[in-house]
Chain A
Amino acid sequence: MYPSSLLRSVEKPGRYTGGEYGQVIKQKDGVVARVAFCFPDIYEIGMSNLGVRILYGLLNEMEDVWCERAFAPWVDMEAEMRKRGIRLSTLESGDELSVFDFVAFTLQYELSYTNVLNMLNLAGLPLTSAERGDFALGSTPIVIGGGPCAYNAEPVADFFDLLLIGEGEEALPELVRLYIDMKKSGAKKSEFLREAAKLEGWYVPSLYEVEYNADGTIAAVTPKEGAPAKIKKRIVTDLDKAYFPEKFVMPYIETVHDRIMLEVFRGCIRGCRFCQAGMIYRPVREKSPELLDKQARKLFENTGYNEISLSSLSISDYTCLRELTEQLLSWTEAHKINLSLPSLRADSFNDELMARISSVRSSGLTFAPEAGTPRLRDAINKNITEEEILSACRTAFAAGKNSVKLYFMIGLPTETYEDLDGIAELTQKAVDEYYRTPGRPKGRDVTVTISVASFVPKPFTPFQWCAQDTIDTLREKQAYLAEKLKHNRKVRYNWHEAKVSFLEAVFARGNRRLSKALIEANRRGVRFDSWDELFDYEAWMDIFKTVGIDTAFYANREIGKDEVMPWDIFDIGVSKSFLRREYERAMRSEPSKNCREGCLGCGANRLGGERTCCPRL
C-alpha cells in the first residue's frame, strides 16, 4: 500500500488503494506463480475491461497461482512516485512488479504502447527482453502480452518475452502450468521460452529473425531453435464450457463500464472490410441463452449491480436475442435492473427491440452507417441501406427519443467528395425524419450527433493493404464536412483528431524497427497518447526524426500485393487470400454476403467452434 501522505496528495486516490469487495488475496508462500496483470491505462478504464475480469478470475481459480492487478498511474501520481522513488506495485499485495513471476499486459489499443514501457520503467524493470537477460525462473518477471494488438505486436515485440495470439481462457493456464513445472525444476528463462513456443498460440518474438529489404520492407522472417514457422491463433471452441467469472471485483470509484458485462458471443458475421475485430475473433461462437441467464443471475447476486450490458460485436446478430432478453426481463425488472444493448445494427432495430430496452433506462441510441453513400457502404461491406438507417431513427423518435448519434468514418479506401456530401445529406435526412415521425416528443427539437472518425488500416482486414489519407487530406475532409454542416443547429458534429489516427496507423501496421521510437518516447517521458490532453504530435514527429523512422512508410503507403507483412507469421484462421478477394471486391464497390446468408470461405472454420454458423469441415 502506498503511503497515506502520497495518496492524500493525488486526485482520485481510490485508483490506487485496492481493497475492493471481490478482490482475491492469497498467502504468498502458498503459491508458486504470481501474476501481475497490468492494464496500460488508468484504473477506471482497465477495470471496465471484461477480458481483465475473466482472466483475473480464471488465474485465481488455480490454487498455486495468485493473480493481482496493476494499472498505469495518472500523471500526478507518477510524478509523486518518481519524486519519492516509489515503484509501481499491485493493488492486492502492494508488492512491486519486479518480484512477480509474470508481468502480463493486455494490449487493447496501439496508443497504449508507451504506457506499457512507462509501467515497466516505473517498476524498475529493463524495457527489452534482451536487457532483462537470461535468469533462473522466479528471479525476474517473464513479461507477457495478449489482446487484439498482439495480432501485430511487432512494434513492441522486443519488450515482450511472450505474446499470446488469440483467446486466453485455455492458453494462459497452460502457460502458467508449464512455468510452474519448469520453475520447480530450476529452469532458466531461455529454456522456458523454447518450451512455451511449442504451445499453440504463444509467440516468442526473440525466436524469430527478421531481415529487411533495402526499401524497408521485410525480406524474410526466420524461426530459430525449433520455433514454429506460423503461430496459430488460439480460440476457445465451446464458449458454454469456457470459464466465465461468477463475481467481479467491485470498484469503489466509478469506472467507464461499471456494470455486469455478459458476453453473449464472440466473433461477427458481418465482415465490414475496415474492421479488425470482425476478422480476428472469427469464427462466430454463441453462448446459449439458458447459460447466459444463469450467469447473469449469479453475477447480480454477487455484485449488486443494477445494470446488465449484453456484450458482443453487433448484438442484434445473436440468434437467441429474443429468448435471452425475455428470460432476463422476467426477473430483472423486479430488481430495477437496466438492460443495455450496445452495438445495435440499424437494420435490426425495430419497435420490438425498442420496447425491450425502453422498458428500462437507456442512454442515447447510436447507429453506425460508417459511410454516407450506398456506393461506399457497399465498398466497405457495411450492408445497410439508407432506409434501414432512417427507419431505425424513426423507431427511436417514435419511442420518445429526441436525439440519435451516427458514426461515420472518413478517409475510407475509394472515398470521394461525393461520399462526404452523402454524410451531410444522410445527417439532414435523419433530422427531417424526426419532424416527419408521428409520436415524436412534442415541442422539442432534435439533435443528431455525428461522430466522424478517420480510417486506420489494420492488419488482418481486407483494407490492410490500403494507405491512410495524409493528415492534411483528412483535415481538408473534416473541414469540408464542417462547412457543409455549420449552419445546421440540429446537428452536432464531432471529429477525431487526424494526428492521433495517424499515430495509430503507424503502429497498427508497424514492424520491429518502431521499437527504437518507443524507447526514445519513453526516454522523453511520452505516455498516455490516447488522452487528448497528453497527446503530443510535435514530440512524436521529433522522436521519429531522431531515430530515423519514415512514418509515411507505415501509415500512408499502399502495401504491395505480394509484400511480406510483419503479421504474416500469425495464422488467424481467416486466410490472406480471402482478405485479398474481399479487398478486390471493395475496389469494385461490391458487397459480400454475411456469414449467415452464405459462407464466403474465409477459413476460420478450420479452427472449429460450437454454436457457430460456419460449415463444418
Chain B
Amino acid sequence: MLPKVIRIRFAKRGRLKFISHLDLCRTLQSAMIRAGLPLWYTEGFNPHPRIAVALPLPVGCESECELLDVRVTELPNLELTVKKLNEATVPELEILEAYEPVTKFSDIGFAQYEITLELPFSEDLAELFSGPVIVAKHTKRGDVDTDIFPMVKSISFAPKGSGTFCRALLFASPESYLNPEYIVRAIEKQRGLDQYAFEYSVCRTGILDKSGKNFR
C-alpha cells in the first residue's frame, strides 16, 4: 500500500527555540505516536517513520510557520489530527494546520523573519544593507568571510520602544540559504559589539515560493 503524505504547519515558540532540528524531529515523532497517527514505517531492519521538515530552523530562532511532511498509511481526519497533536505536545509547539500537500519543498524560495533587537535604533542600520555585508560564516572549512548581501532579498529597520525592529526577507532555497543569525552578526560587527552582548529574538514568520507568493 502506498503511503499518503500529510503536511503539518506548526509554530515553535519561546524556549523551544533552543531545541535543535534533530531533537525537534524526535519530539514531533513521539508526539505523533502519542496522538495515535497512523504512521507509515520504512521497511527493513530498522523501521522508522518518514518525517521531513521544510527548512530546518536554526537553534535560537522561533517560528510561526514551520512545515513538516509525514507519511501515513491512511489519511486520518485532519481537523481531529490537529486537535490530538496539540493534546500530545506542549503549548510552545503549537500545531496550526494539517492538510494534503500539493507543492514540493523544493519550490520554496524565501523566508520572512522578524528580528527584535535590544539595541537603540539608528539610521545607519539601513545603510549597512545597501551594499556588500561581510560576516564570518561558519563552514566546514572554518569561519569564512562571506558577503551575505546577495542572499538578502529585502530588509527594513524601525524603532520599537527602546530597541529596534527588523523585517527581513532572505533567500531560503537549497541553492542559496541565509541563516537569519547572520543579520545579527552583521549588526554586532557594525556596532563593534561582542557576540551575545545584547538580547535579541528572531522569528520566522513566513515561507514563500520562488515567485514570492506564500508557500503552502
A18 to B89: give the CA distance in the assembly, Å: 14
A254 to B41: give the CA distance in the assembly, Å: 21
Does the CB pair A9–B45 fall under 8 Å?
no
Which chain A residues in 223-262 approach chain B with CB under 8 Å? 250, 252-254
Number of residues of chain A lying within 8 A (CB) of chain B: 28
Which residues of the other chain, A, contact B26 by a CB distance below 8 angstroms? 252, 254
Does A302 sit within 8 A of B, measured CB to CB?
A: yes
* Chain A 1-34: CB-based contact to B (< 8 A → 1; otherwise 0): 1011111110001100111110000000000000
Does B54 sit within 8 A of A, measured CB to CB?
A: no
Which residues of the other chain, A, contact B46 by a CB distance below 8 angstroms? 361
* Chain B 86-129: CB-based contact to A (< 8 A → 1; otherwise 0): 00111010000000000000000000000000000000000000
A3 to B118: give the CA distance in the assembly, Å: 13
Minimal beta-carbon separation of B26 from chain A (angstroms): 7
Does the CB pair A305–B196 fall under 8 Å?
no
- Of B18, B30, B31, B92, which one neighbours A7 at CB under 8 angstroms? B18
Does B168 sit within 8 A of A, measured CB to CB?
A: no
**Known contacts A19-B92, A304-B29; is A14 also within 8 Å of B18 by CB?**
yes
Does the CB pair B41–A336 fall under 8 Å?
yes
- Of B19, B196, B201, which one neighbours A9 at CB under 8 angstroms? B196
Which residues of the other chain, A, contact B89 by a CB distance below 8 angstroms? 21
Which residues of the other chain, B, contact A302 by a CB distance below 8 angstroms? 34
Does the CB pair A253–B14 fall under 8 Å?
no
A21 to B41: give the CA distance in the assembly, Å: 24
Does A577 sit within 8 A of B, measured CB to CB?
A: no
Minimal beta-carbon separation of A234 from chain B (angstroms): 35
Does the CB pair A4–B201 fall under 8 Å?
yes
* Chain B 183-202: CB-based contact to A (< 8 A → 1; otherwise 0): 00000000000011111110
**Known contacts A304-B32, A305-B30, A361-B46; is A14 also within 8 Å of B23 by CB?**
yes
**Known contacts A13-B18, A19-B15, A19-B16; is A252 also within 8 Å of B30 by CB?**
no
Which residues of the other chain, B, contact A303 by a CB distance below 8 angstroms? 30, 34
Does A301 sit within 8 A of B, measured CB to CB?
A: yes
Does the CB pair B196–A8 fall under 8 Å?
yes
- Of A19, A301, A304, which one neighbours B90 at CB under 8 angstroms? A19
Does B214 sit within 8 A of A, measured CB to CB?
A: no
Does the CB pair B30–A1 fall under 8 Å?
no
Which residues of the other chain, A, contact B90 by a CB distance below 8 angstroms? 19-21
Does the CB pair B19–A17 fall under 8 Å?
yes
Which residues of the other chain, B, contact A17 by a CB distance below 8 angstroms? 15-16, 18-19
Which residues of the other chain, B, contact A4 by a CB distance below 8 angstroms? 17, 60, 199-201
Which residues of the other chain, B, contact A254 by a CB distance below 8 angstroms? 23, 26
Does the CB pair B27–A18 fall under 8 Å?
no
Which chain B residues in 18-59 approach chain A with CB under 8 Å? 18-20, 23-24, 26-27, 29-34, 41, 45-48, 59
Which residues of the other chain, A, contact B33 by a CB distance below 8 angstroms? 304, 306, 335
**Known contacts A4-B199, A336-B47; is A304 also within 8 Å of B30 by CB?**
yes
Minimal beta-carbon separation of A508 from chain B (angstroms): 36
Minimal beta-carbon separation of B46 from chain A (angstroms): 6
Does the CB pair B19–A3 fall under 8 Å?
no
Does the CB pair B31–A21 fall under 8 Å?
yes
Which residues of the other chain, A, contact B34 by a CB distance below 8 angstroms? 301-304
A250 to B31: give the CA distance in the assembly, Å: 10
Minimal beta-carbon separation of A401 from chain B (angstroms): 14
User: Who on chain A is nearest to B20 by CB?
Assistant: A14
User: Who on chain B is nearest to A250 by CB?
Assistant: B30
Which chain A residues in 330-362 approach chain B with CB under 8 Å? 335-336, 361
A361 to B196: give the CA distance in the assembly, Å: 43
**Known contacts A14-B20, A14-B23, A250-B30; is A1 also within 8 Å of B15 by CB?**
yes
Give the one of A17, A301, A302, A304 with max B CB within 10 A. A304
Does the CB pair A252–B47 fall under 8 Å?
no
User: Who on chain B is nearest to A305 by CB?
Assistant: B30
A543 to B60: give the CA distance in the assembly, Å: 41
User: Who on chain B is nearest to A338 by CB?
Assistant: B46
Does the CB pair A252–B19 fall under 8 Å?
yes
Minimal beta-carbon separation of B164 from chain A (angstroms): 16
**Known contacts A18-B15, A21-B31, A304-B32; is A253 also within 8 Å of B23 by CB?**
yes
**Known contacts A21-B90, A301-B34, A302-B34; is A8 also within 8 Å of B60 by CB?**
yes
Minimal beta-carbon separation of A196 from chain B (angstroms): 37
* Chain B 142-182: CB-based contact to A (< 8 A → 1; otherwise 0): 00000000000000000000000000000000000000000
A17 to B27: give the CA distance in the assembly, Å: 15
Which residues of the other chain, A, contact B59 by a CB distance below 8 angstroms? 13
A18 to B201: give the CA distance in the assembly, Å: 19
Give the one of A302, A303, A306 with max B CB within 10 A. A306
A247 to B88: give the CA distance in the assembly, Å: 12
A526 to B201: give the CA distance in the assembly, Å: 36
Does the CB pair B198–A5 fall under 8 Å?
yes
Which residues of the other chain, B, contact A3 by a CB distance below 8 angstroms? 199
Closest 8 CB pairs of A and B: A304-B30, A304-B33, A13-B18, A17-B15, A304-B34, A9-B196, A252-B19, A5-B196
Q: A5-B196, A304-B30 are in contact. List 4 more A-B contacts (CB 8 A).
A: A3-B199, A14-B23, A19-B14, A303-B30
**What are 27 pairs between A and B in contact, CB < 8 Å?**
A4-B200, A5-B199, A8-B196, A9-B195, A9-B196, A13-B59, A17-B18, A17-B19, A18-B15, A19-B15, A21-B27, A21-B88, A250-B27, A252-B19, A252-B23, A252-B27, A253-B20, A254-B26, A303-B30, A303-B34, A304-B31, A304-B32, A304-B33, A304-B88, A335-B33, A336-B47, A336-B48
